[in-house]
Amino acid sequence: MFAYIIRKLVYNIPVYLAIVLLVMILLRQRDPVAGLLGKNADAKDYAAKKQELGLNRPFLIQYGDLLRSIFTFQFDEESWTQPGVTVGEKLVEAVPRSLALTVPALVLTSLISIVVAMISAFNRGRFLDKLLVFLAVLGMSISFLVYIIFGQYFGAYQLSQWLGRPVFSIHGYEPGLVNWAYYMLLPVLISVIVSMGYDTRFYRAVMVEETQRDYITTARAKGATRGKVMFVHMLRNAMIPIITRIMITLPFLVTGSILLEQFFGIPGMGYVLLSAIRNNDFPVVETFTAVFAGLFILSIIATDILYALFDPRVRLQ
Amino acid sequence: MSMTDRFFKTREFRKLFRNKSAVIAMLVIAAYLFTALFVMCGGITRETCDTVVGQNKMPGFFIQQTPEQRYENATSKFLPMVQRALSRADQTAALADVRLGQERVVNKSAAQLQAIIDRAIELKNELNQSEDLDADSARLPQLKALEDQVAMLKAPLTGWSRLMQNASLVLGTDAQGRSIFLRGLYSIKIAIQIGLVTAAFCVLLGALLGAAAGYFGGWVDHGIVWVYTTFSSIPNLVLLVVLSYAFTDSEVKDTLLPVYIAFGATFWIGTCRVIRGETLKLKRMEYIQAAQTAGFSPFYILVRHVIPNTAHLMLINFSLLLIGAIKSEVILSFLGFGVKGQPSWGIMIRDAGNNGDVVSGFFWEIGTATALMFALVLAFNILSDALQDAFDPKHV
């Protein structure tokens, strides 16, 4: 197991180097200096700014610097648009906000869609199953944007008008557990509704496949009730693909939902990342993507290990 | 029996065509393709979409307009345009230039036009004295008279131009007075174009790379897996945004090329994974081993035996990628990183948001974009499911 982890980590080093390189190359297709200086800058200001930002150094040196700061966890480069604030500070500030949105959303979505999928799989082929499957397809066909816009309009704006007092925030964020429901509950609910269709369909397919296996027939033949077979035998075996799917989404918890954060003005990681791209804030974009990619790779390795722990048939090699 | 015949008359295709909802979905998709073709052949141009056809934020066909709206409608666009043209030195040329959608100035002398306008302004001033026209039913005859005066300025529309004018107003106008219906239809072309190009390119690339990785193994496999792990380790939306950001200052920024590149770089990965897995399975099949023993070149075996046997997966992935590309285009355009300089559903939704349409209860623009997109994506979702049922029933 230990050897497997080491080998996986080593194997992913070139992947990681390529990710950082790719992001740096893509960003440098544009000249950020002119954008940061404004319109009235002359050539001297331009050269000075370029010097200050370190953009006149050879590309490989810049690449090496970025890698060093990532691998030593020294995120003390300053943001270009907010002088005095380091990238690390921005990261520490943004991540909990994203997590406050995505973790409850993931937990709720997973629980609800597993239950709905079980109801659907239990009634397979009957009217209820067909209805649920159809609703899932309908839900998947509506754009995320529409859910957010109408969710914001009816949930935050109209509901407040109707009740005469603000229930959910339309835009903005304040930290603190007390304020959580006011700022976060509506985005969480929207996020749950959006992902329900996809997750329910997937979990239902997993369960339907499980119910066709021989051990289910055996259990039924020896007299176990349908409910018992469903909850005890089937669910335990269906857990493996379910856990994999949840594990794969874990790194995305950190980036948050870019669109939801954008709409509701929650300055989480997605929001900060997007505005950094718009404002040519290279250090923020590079660091945020690098951190995300690192988490992504680690979580894939962790998924493999969990697999081996849950399923004795899986051997890591 | 030809090659295509053999492919389309298989049991799987017959199963697909027996599925009623799949057939309906295919008909819907055909209607969209037909519209896209019509737009592409010049039926609706970019200029048509940018032409002002009426008052700003005019509601669609079946809404009874309130007196306030009717007043706005009569006074806001055509009347001042003619007034301005009359005050110019080159009256005749300026009058000939006045156009609102298909509407033109009627062929009358300047003095006659001036008389109509004077009467209209008189009526307008009288109506202005009213605080709230909606509540003031006594002034309705005056409003009617004003509308008649403005109608007298317009040359009567006949035939095609009348049809076009009515059609362009059928779903109302946006905040700049442009036709929502025409913009929505034009967006169909954008969506279909982006979807088809992306899906075709990504399925081909993914299939070739996936088959090569699975068949050759070794360093080819490692290399290809390395490339796609790299691309998939960056959040998809971030990668798309950064990729189209890289093109913001370049010459091609107003074309669809940045969007194609962004989608082309990311969307092949799923197909590549699936085809690689399938190839690993196929490689152990007897007929492949027979071909190897017979001494065919690896390239020949790949093209003649491996890739054709993944055709069903390519078909399913094509349909799935189309959905992905259409949905991502809308989100990317909405964020300002996608389509630029021409209408798209994402841009229509963004405009509706920016102009406060939703808050003021004007749902025509966002509703049109949503409904058109919803029907297309739903049809493709149903078709993908049916394809999966028919060709790959064991898939989870």
Q: Distance (Å, rounded) from C-alpha A282 to C-alpha A277?
A: 7
**B309 and B201 together in one domain:** yes
* Residue of chain A nearest B328, judged by CA positions: A143
Residue A262 has, within 13 A of its CA and on its CB side, a CA count of: 22
Residue A61 pLDDT: 85
pLDDT value of residue A39: 67
Cβ-contact A187, A268 below 8 angstroms: no
Whether residues B11 and B106 fall in one domain:
no
More confident residue, B199 or A179: B199
Distance from CA of B26 to the nearest CA of A (A): 16
- pLDDT at residue B241 in the model: 83
Nearest CB neighbour to B381, from listed A31, A141, A145 = A141
Mean residue pLDDT of chain A comes to 84
Asked if A202 lies within 8 A of B396 by C-beta distance, the reply is: yes
Instruction: State the pLDDT at residue B75.
Output: 75
Place of tokens 């082309």: B264
- Looking at the fold, whether B274 and B380 belong to one and the same domain comes out as yes
> pLDDT tens digits for B317-360?
999 999 999 999 998 888 888 888 888 999 998 888 887 777 77
* B288 shares a domain with B191: yes
* Runs of H (alpha helix) within chain A: 2-27, 32-37, 43-53, 59-71, 87-122, 127-141, 144-150, 159-163, 180-211, 214-221, 226-228, 235-255, 258-264, 269-278, 282-310
Domain boundaries, chain A: 2-87, 88-310
Tell me which of B169, B201, B221 is where a domain ends.
B169
A310 and B CB contact within 8 Å: no
Contact A30 B373 (CB under 8 A): no
Residues 6+ apart with CB under 8 A from A259: A144, A145, A148, A270, B331
Q: Is A22 on the interface with B (CB under 8 A)?
A: yes
* Structural domain includes residue B118: yes
State whether B366 and A149 contact (CB < 8 Å).
Answer: yes
Regarding whether B67 and B21 lie in a shared domain, the answer is: no
| CATH topology for the A88-310 domain | MetI-like fold (1.10.3720)
* Six-digit token string for B128: 């202005």
Least confident range from A104-118, A241-255, B180-194, B337-351: namely A241-255
Residues of B in contact with A262 (CB under 8 A): 335
Check CB contact of B389 with chain A, cutoff 8 Å: no
A262 and B230: CB-CB below 8 Å? no
Which tens digit of pLDDT belongs to each residue from A64-74? 888 888 888 88
Residue in B closest to A208 by C-alpha = B396
Dihedral of alpha carbons A83, A172, A183, B354, sign: negative
Query: What CA–CA distance (Å, rounded) separates B344 from A235?
Result: 44
Asked if A273 reaches chain B (Cβ–Cβ under 8 Å), the answer is yes
- CA–CA gap between residue B280 and residue B272 (Å, rounded): 12
Tell whether B204 and B284 lie within a shared domain: yes
Please indicate, yes or no, if residue B49 is contained in any of the structural domains: no
pLDDT digits (tens, 9 = 90+) for A7-45: 888 888 888 999 999 888 888 887 777 777 766 677 777
C-beta atoms of B396 and A205 within 8 A? yes
Of the listed ranges A310-314, B3-7, B140-144, B282-286, the one predicted with least confidence: B3-7
Separation of alpha carbons B234 and A22, rounded Å: 10
Q: Which are the contacts of A21, defined by CB distance < 8 A and separation ≥ 6?
A: A63
Which of A27, A205, A297 has its CB closest to that of B233?
Answer: A297
The tens digit of pLDDT for each residue in B255-265 reads 888 889 889 98
Region of A78 please: left (phi>0), alpha (psi -120 to 50) or beta: beta
Shortest CA distance from A202: residue in chain B:
B396
Domain boundary among B169, B199, B215: B169
Banded model confidence at residue A314, pLDDT cuts 50, 70, 90: low
Distance, in Å, from the CA atom of A108 to the CA atom of A111, rounded to the nearest integer, reads: 5
* Cβ pairs A/B, distance under 8 A: 109
Which residue of chain A comes nearest to B248, CA vs CA?
A: A30
Q: Pick A177 or B204 by higher pLDDT.
A: B204
Interface touch A145/B381, C-beta < 8 Å? no
Tell whether A149 lies on the interface with B, counting CB pairs under 8 A.
yes
Does residue B1 have a pLDDT over 50? no
Section B262-272 average pLDDT: 91
DSSP B104: E
Of A22, A202, A259, the CB nearest to B331: A259
Q: Is residue B175 part of a domain?
A: no
Q: Is the Cβ pair A145, B330 closer than 8 Å?
A: yes
Q: Which chain B positions have a beta carbon within 8 Å of A19's beta carbon?
A: 230, 233-234
Tally of structural domains, chain B: 2
Q: Are residues B14 and B137 located together in one domain of the fold? A: no
Convert the pLDDT of each residue in B356-394 to its tens digit.
777 777 888 888 999 999 999 999 999 988 888 888 776
Interface test with A, best of B232, B234, B273 (most A CBs within 10 A): B234
B223 plus B298 within the same structural domain: yes
DSSP A298: H
Q: B235: which chain A residues are within 8 Å (Cβ-Cβ)? A: 252, 255, 258, 289, 292
B242:A23 CB<8 A: yes
Share of chain B above pLDDT 90, in %: 28
- How far does the CA of residue A40 sit from the closest CA of chain B (Å)? 19
Q: Average pLDDT, whole number, for chain B?
A: 83
Give a yes or no: residue B263 inside a domain.
yes
Asked if the C-beta of A301 comes within 8 angstroms of chain B's C-beta atoms, the answer is no
Residue B149 — very low, low, confident or very high, per pLDDT cuts 50/70/90?
A: confident
**Chain A CB within 8 Å of residue B246 CB:** yes
Q: Is residue B51 part of a domain?
A: no
The C-alpha atoms of residue B99 and residue B103 are separated, in whole angstroms, by 6
pLDDT digits (tens, 9 = 90+) for B70-125: 777 777 777 777 777 777 777 777 777 777 777 777 777 777 777 777 877 777 77
- Indicate the DSSP class of residue B251: G
pTM of the predicted structure, to 2 decimals? 0.85
The pLDDT, as a whole number, for residue B394 is: 67
CB contact under 8 A, B242 and A241: no
SS3 assignment, position A78: strand
Please check the confidence at residue B242 and state whether its pLDDT lies above 60. Answer: yes
Flag whether residue B138 sits within 8 Å of chain A, measured between CB atoms: no
Residue B291, token pair as written in the block: 């071909």
Is residue B237 a part of any domain in this protein? yes
Query: Is residue B114 domain-shared with residue B198, that is, in the same domain?
Result: no
CB-CB under 8 Å, A296 with B233: yes
The closest CB to that of A30, out of B226, B238, B249, belongs to B249
Is B186 found in the same domain as B164? no
Between chains, do A18 and B226 touch, taking CB under 8 Å as contact?
yes
Least confident among A204-208, A270-274, B133-137: B133-137
Residue B92 in any domain: the answer is yes
DSSP letters, A106-165, are: HHHHHHHHHHHHHHHHHTTTSHHHHHHHHHHHHHHHS-HHHHHHHIIIIIIIIHHHHHTS
- Answer yes or no: are the C-beta atoms of B369 and B187 closer than 8 Å: yes
Region A270-280: mean pLDDT is 86
Which of these three, B146, B169, B192, is where a domain ends? B169
Strand partners, B103: B100
Question: Which of B233, B352, B382 is facing A137, going by the closest CB pair?
Answer: B382
Yes or no, beta carbons of A144 and B230 under 8 Å apart: no
Co-location of B124 and B196 in the same domain: no
Q: Within a domain: residue B52? A: no
Q: In this structure, are B245 and B383 located in the same domain?
A: yes
CATH of the domain at B264: 1.10.3720.10
Range of the domain at B144: 63-169
Q: Which residues pair with B173 in a beta bridge?
A: B179
pLDDT band, residue B186 (cuts 50/70/90) = very high
Distances (CA, A) of B48 to B101, B165, B184: 8, 11, 12
Mean pLDDT across A266-292: 87
